[in-house]
A = this chain, B = another copy of it.
């Protein structure tokens, strides 16, 4: 059966988008379409050019007999800026205000398109690093962790506040909450994380950094190490325990009395931004 070029590139585009960070051999595509590898190479060159131009991602070519291509999700600066600005406006909506100055965020965390964009932005920032797993704390970090995982093609590991019978033997640590200074527990199933893993820590919200620090203590119990720290929202905090992280937005101020929430861009663009695709045109 013969395939036209247009048909091949549609199927290859879908395949690559579904298999990020994974080496795909030219042979796989050549056999899939009964085409010569030279035709597949030409197709891939067109896909790579379009992905980069349209802010979709990039293809890395790995030469040699065991070679192939790897797709990495990337964003361009313009669309990332636009997305973050829109997120700030949404979080500033005074309807989010709850008693005690808390903000209702479940609508954003439950929105599949927003989560996919959050995942793509944060995954882009860690695309060049060796990451074996993404760790988060139940419950609100889970959609963000999975959204990043889908773009980096790594497993998600979920830390809980207490142990469950369905998780088998667990390792537990105590940590001090950064903002309330209370002692809390964190539990991780022993079999969920391999010894020596390099782990990206993810959370929805960071204030004092206590939860992130708790996860770091837990990593030590698995001889695992921190590959990065990514949060959706950071809040102003005088003496944070954590310095090296990436945030998409920053909560500057919540004024309950006047029902005013002030949100600005996080440190996403102030870090090394080599990971962004150049804006086209």
Contacts and interface: CB of A to CB of B under 8 A. Distances in A.
Interface of A: 1, 5-7, 9-11, 13-14, 17-19, 46-47, 49-51, 53-54, 56, 98-100, 102-107, 110-113, 115-116, 138-140, 142-143, 146-147, 149-150, 153-158, 160, 165-168, 189, 191-192, 281
A126 to B, nearest CB: 14
Given A7-B50, A50-B10, A158-B106, A115 B168 contact: no
A156 B14 contact: no
Nearest to A154: B112
Taking the full assembly, how many copies of this chain does it contain? 2
B104 A191 contact: yes
A6 B46 contact: yes
B18 A98 contact: no
Most B C-beta atoms less than 10 A away, residue of A54, A115, A192, A281: A54
B138 A106 contact: no
Nearest to A165: B102
A102 B168 CA distance: 9
B166 A102 contact: yes
Given A11-B54, A112-B150, A138-B138, A281 B1 contact: yes
A76 to B, nearest CB: 13
A187 to B, nearest CB: 12
Contact of A46 (B7, B46, B160): B7
A142 B110 CA distance: 10
A131 to B, nearest CB: 12
